[in-house]
């Protein structure tokens, strides 16, 4: 039996492209259903009518940015591939989906696996990959099975494997399962893991996947949602795709809303047309009865936190001045960036006034301390200290100097590590302490007994 994540109603403000069929009760994961809805037409078009260079150009023109976290333009990433080396090129789909708060790739994999396979085979053809892989986290065993069966169906129809659609181009697609380590989401850690080793991220430079990736060969690593977009770029044409959203923030994005809201869930929205306020209040139904907003984490737990009531001011790239509250920040890549944080993996976590913000940070810190791969001293030791200090604070052992101590540890990690896990673990502590310093300092005055014996715990 394969469990499907629950289907949810489509909100009228959504613009569904990637999740167009995901919540249609008559839609299923079979290739017959996919083809009935026009599936694999774009792969036929790509292989039958377009050259690899032309597809790469369409992706470039689309300005589509990576949906996995960093928001790097996919067309540019593909262009950086070292094609002169003569080594085989590999394509990897990052389906590790492990940034806390993120649950969008799960919907695609479970409900519309062929869309991912089609997006991947078009991408593989475009970069002329020798072989393609889907690295899926261990905690999605049914997802892995669904993909395996879907790939077999696609292989039988000539979309995957030898001599695809009679074109002479061959590319196999292999599902590889992780084993519950977050760091496998980091692309070079993922590559090491796929090589059968510990997921120790590699240092860049020199190990940019575009030149020295899997087996030291040029490699493209893209997120599930990014690769699905390629199908729609081929369908519409890159320039037409770029009309969706706003310049530099093209297409739609699947936002994952969770935490303390009435209607948590995933919402696919045209970039730049809506705000965090719309997501939390209109789509998310706002906060629970009688509660008010304390904080928002705008892009996965490593994104810098926003405190309710703070204002963001500055100038946009086009010179226009802005003065936003949290509710006004545009939902896209550049909006949260202008407001001092990031859209990251599209995971928005809402925190209301009823929880202890210090304990929220302690919970986040426990995650990063558990997930550090241990290669770099600042990340390995720092993440553990930050966890220990915030846990002690939440449990009634806070000291006056803790806020300064935490800030100084955070400041000594970011920028001093092999991979961005250093930033990912430092940013929460740095931003929580900076924005909620009063609450961190007040902790030393709190009644230790009451904290020790509290009923609701998050660490």
Partner 1 sequence: MPFELTEQTLAEIDRLIPRYPQKRSALMMILHAIQKEKGYLSLESQEWVAEKLELTPIQVREVVTFYPFYREHPIGKRLIRVCRTLSCALNGSYQICDHFKKEFDVELNAVSSDGRVTIEFAECLASCGTAPVAMVDDDLFENLDESKVKALCAEIRAATPATPVEREALAMEEPKQKN
Question: Where along the sequence are the contacts to ligand SF4 (CB under 6 A)?
Answer: 183, 201, 372-376, 379-380, 417-419, 421-422
- For residue 99, state whether it binds ligand FMN (rule: CB under 6 A): yes
Task: Select from partner 1, ligand SF4, ligand FMN, none the partner in contact with residue 69, using the beta carbon and a kind-dependent cut-off of 5 to 8 Å.
Answer: ligand FMN
- For residue 149, state whether it binds partner 1 (rule: CB under 8 A): no
Residues 6+ apart with CB under 8 A from 117: 147, 150, 151, 154, 159, 160, 173
Distance CA 177, CA 197 (A): 13
| Binding pattern for the stretch 165-184 against partner 1, x by CB under 8 A and - elsewhere | -------x-x-xxxxxxx--
Distance CA 220, CA 218 (A): 7
- For residue 218, state whether it binds partner 1 (rule: CB under 8 A): no
Q: How far is the CB of 249 from ligand SF4 (least distance, A)?
A: 28
Task: Select from ligand SF4, ligand FMN, partner 1, none the partner in contact with residue 178, using the beta carbon and a kind-dependent cut-off of 5 to 8 Å.
Answer: partner 1
- For residue 293, state whether it binds partner 1 (rule: CB under 8 A): no
Distance CA 236, CA 58 (A): 9
Helix 224-236 to helix 41-49 angle (10° resolution) is 70
Using left for φ > 0, alpha for ψ between -120 and 50, and beta otherwise, residue 108 falls in alpha
Give CA separation, 354 vs 281, 286, 300, 319, 387, in Å: 18, 15, 21, 39, 22
- Residue closer to ligand FMN, measured from CB, 181 or 331: 181
Q: Would you say 74 and 226 are in contact if contact means Cβ atoms under 8 Å apart?
A: yes
Using left for φ > 0, alpha for ψ between -120 and 50, and beta otherwise, residue 36 falls in alpha
Distance CA 432, CA 363 (A): 12
Q: How far is the CB of 47 from ligand FMN (least distance, A)?
A: 22
Q: Would you say 354 and 289 are in contact if contact means Cβ atoms under 8 Å apart?
A: no
- Residue closer to ligand FMN, measured from CB, 39 or 346: 346
Task: Select from ligand FMN, partner 1, ligand SF4, none the partner in contact with residue 176, using the beta carbon and a kind-dependent cut-off of 5 to 8 Å.
Answer: partner 1
Task: Select from partner 1, ligand SF4, ligand FMN, none the partner in contact with residue 192, using the beta carbon and a kind-dependent cut-off of 5 to 8 Å.
Answer: none
Distance CA 457, CA 385 (A): 20
- Residue closer to ligand SF4, measured from CB, 265 or 422: 422
CB count within 10 Å of CB 177 equals: 17
- For residue 434, state whether it binds ligand FMN (rule: CB under 6 A): no
- For residue 268, state whether it binds ligand FMN (rule: CB under 6 A): no
- Residue closer to ligand FMN, measured from CB, 97 or 402: 97
Select the residue interacting with ligand FMN from 94, 258, 294, 429 (CB under 6 A): 94
Q: Would you say 73 and 253 are in contact if contact means Cβ atoms under 8 Å apart?
A: no
- For residue 67, state whether it binds ligand FMN (rule: CB under 6 A): yes
Task: Select from partner 1, ligand SF4, ligand FMN, none the partner in contact with residue 131, using the beta carbon and a kind-dependent cut-off of 5 to 8 Å.
Answer: partner 1
- For residue 375, state whether it binds ligand FMN (rule: CB under 6 A): no
Interacting residue ranges for ligand FMN, rule: CB under 6 A: 66-70, 72, 74, 94, 96-99, 183, 185-187, 221-223, 226, 419-421, 424
């Amino acid at each position: 039996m394969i469990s499907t994540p629950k289907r949810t109603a489509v909100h009228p403000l959504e613009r569904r492209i990637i999740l167009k069929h995901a919540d249609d009760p008559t839609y299923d994961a079979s290739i017959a259903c996919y083809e009935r809805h026009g599936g694999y037409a774009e792969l036929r078009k790509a292989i039958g009518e377009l050259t690899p260079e032309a597809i790469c150009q369409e992706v470039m023109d689309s300005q589509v940015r990576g949906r996995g976290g960093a928001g790097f333009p996919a067309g540019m990433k593909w262009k950086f591939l070292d094609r002169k080396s003569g080594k085989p090129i590999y394509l990897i789909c990052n389906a590790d989906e492990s940034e806390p708060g993120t649950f969008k790739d799960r919907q695609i994999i479970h409900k519309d696996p062929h869309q991912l396979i089609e997006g991947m085979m078009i991408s593989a053809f475009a970069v002329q990959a020798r072989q393609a892989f889907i690295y899926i986290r261990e905690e999605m065993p049914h997802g892995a099975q669904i993909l395996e069966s879907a790939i077999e169906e696609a292989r039988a129809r000539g979309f995957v494997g030898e001599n695809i659609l009679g074109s002479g181009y061959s590319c196999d697609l292999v599902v590889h399962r992780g084993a519950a380590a977050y760091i496998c989401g980091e692309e070079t850690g993922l590559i090491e893991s796929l090589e059968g080793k510990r997921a120790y991220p590699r240092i860049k430079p020199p190990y940019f996947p575009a030149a020295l990736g899997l087996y030291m060969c040029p490699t493209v690593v893209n997120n599930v949602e990014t690769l699905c977009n390629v199908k729609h770029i081929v369908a519409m044409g890159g320039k037409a795709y770029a009309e969706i959203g706003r310049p530099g923030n093209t297409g739609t994005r699947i936002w994952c809303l969770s935490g303390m809201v009435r209607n948590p869930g995933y919402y696919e929205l045209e970039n730049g047309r809506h705000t965090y306020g719309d997501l939390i209040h209109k789509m998310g139904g706002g906060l629970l009865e009688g509660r008010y907003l304390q904080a928002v984490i705008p892009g996965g737990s490593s994104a810098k936190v926003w405190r309710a009531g703070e204002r963001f001011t500055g100038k946009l790239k086009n010179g226009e001045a802005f003065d936003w509250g949290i509710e006004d920040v545009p939902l896209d890549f550049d909006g949260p960036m202008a407001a001092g944080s990031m859209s990251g993996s599209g995971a928005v976590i809402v925190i209301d006034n009823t929880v202890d913000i210090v304990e929220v940070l302690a919970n986040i810190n426990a995650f990063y301390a558990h997930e550090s791969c241990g290669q770099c001293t600042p990340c390995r030791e720092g993440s553990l200290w930050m966890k220990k200090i915030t846990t002690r604070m939440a449990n009634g052992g806070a000291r006056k100097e803790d806020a300064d101590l935490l800030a100084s540890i955070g400041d000594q990690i970011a920028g001093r590590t092999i991979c961005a896990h250093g930033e990912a673990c430092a940013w929460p502590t740095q931003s929580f302490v900076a924005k909620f310093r009063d609450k961190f300092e007040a902790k030393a005055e709190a009644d230790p007994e009451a904290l020790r014996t509290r009923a609701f715990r998050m660490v």
